Amino acid sequence: MDPAGNSDEILTEAILGLGEPLVSGNLSPDAYSVSRQDLKIVRRGLVTQPWLLTRNGNRSGSREILIPKSRQNMQKLSDKQAIALAEMGLRLENHYGRPQDVEWAFVGDRLNILQSRPITTTQAPDASPNEGLETLNALVSGASASPGIGPEQFG
Amino acid sequence: MLKGDILVTEITTPDFVPAMKRAAAIVTDRGGRTCHAAIVSREMGLPCIVDTIDGTTKLRDIPVATVDGGAGEVYEGDHQTKLVPQVIEIPTDANLTTKTKLYVNLADPDSAQRVAAMCVDGVGLLRVEFMIAQLGEYPRSMLESGRA
């Protein structure tokens, strides 16, 4: 499911290379939303990825390498892969009995599941009235990661 | 970083958590909806916008801003909104019994009571370094002034 938005959609985020920069937030990922009902892609959010993290040859650790300009804007997952991941997400949800936060990796065409854990916090899309906001000067915009109407705001 | 400030940063790491707790909202230059900043913000119930690309530059000299976490927009100036609470029920495994003992990683003393009520067998990893960071004071100065 999408933990910060529509619970009828399955959200998948993807980058090229190892996954650590996705977890830390150092790289912004492609985002694919797939409908839970018919497993069709509802939305693709594609981003430019300037570098990737890879294994450091035969030595331990990892290293960053630059991605050629011509490949920086490519779609990270094929539609087929995005749908296969959504299907896998549903299988894991059925197995564990609740929505899952899944870490995975494609090596070639082979899908590997690395970790699956329950989604413990979700927030419905913010339905609060925002009258007057449009009169303000918009400064920056980005991806909604949390509407922020959790229990803290209601004391 | 004062209570109520908006934390604008390139990314967040676990070291940012004490500052995130004081923040009214979090805005990052990079990251997706599954990155550290996003997950911790949802845990804390804080509005969070990621992947603004140049938020740290554009918001640097803005004295007061309003963050609409649901829309992913930051506006100049103050805007008060009446929030409409919505609750999504997530089932809990209150009576789950597992053959494997279940130990939690605990970093936040404030959540000890809540976690203890879950079906856990104990604490496997206590993140003392986070607890000390949350004191907001250098431990040696507390020792020297006889308060620790």
- Over the stretch A102-147, which tens digit does the pLDDT of each residue have? 999 999 999 999 999 988 776 555 555 666 777 888 899 999 999 8
> Cα separation of A117 and A20, whole Å?
17
- Over the stretch B29-82, which tens digit does the pLDDT of each residue have? 999 999 999 999 998 889 999 999 999 999 999 999 999 998 899 999 988 776
Residue spans of the domains in chain A: they are: 9-55+62-126
- Over the stretch A59-82, which tens digit does the pLDDT of each residue have? 889 999 999 999 999 999 999 999
DSSP symbol at A67: P
Q: Which CATH number fits domain A9-55+62-126: 3.90.1150.10, 3.40.640.10, 3.30.470.20, 3.40.50.300?
A: 3.30.470.20
pLDDT for position B144: 93
The class of domain B6-76 in CATH terms is alpha beta
> Cα separation of A76 and B77, whole Å?
38
End-to-end CA distance of chain A: 27
Residue spans of the domains in chain B: they are: 6-76, 90-140
Q: Position of tokens 């915009």?
A: A141
Nearest to A153 among B11, B66, B83 (CB): B83
Q: Do residues A130 and B24 touch, judged by C-beta distance below 8 A? A: no
Q: Which of chain A's residues have a Cβ under 8 Å away from the Cβ of B26?
A: 146
User: Is A13 an interface residue toward B (CB < 8 Å)?
Assistant: yes
Residue type for position B95:
N
User: Is B132 an interface residue toward A (CB < 8 Å)?
Assistant: no
In terms of Cα–Cα distance, which of B45, B43, B90, B52 is closest to B71? B52
At B83, is the pLDDT very low, low, confident or very high (cuts 50, 70, 90)?
low
Is B74 in Cβ contact with A140 (below 8 Å)?
Answer: yes
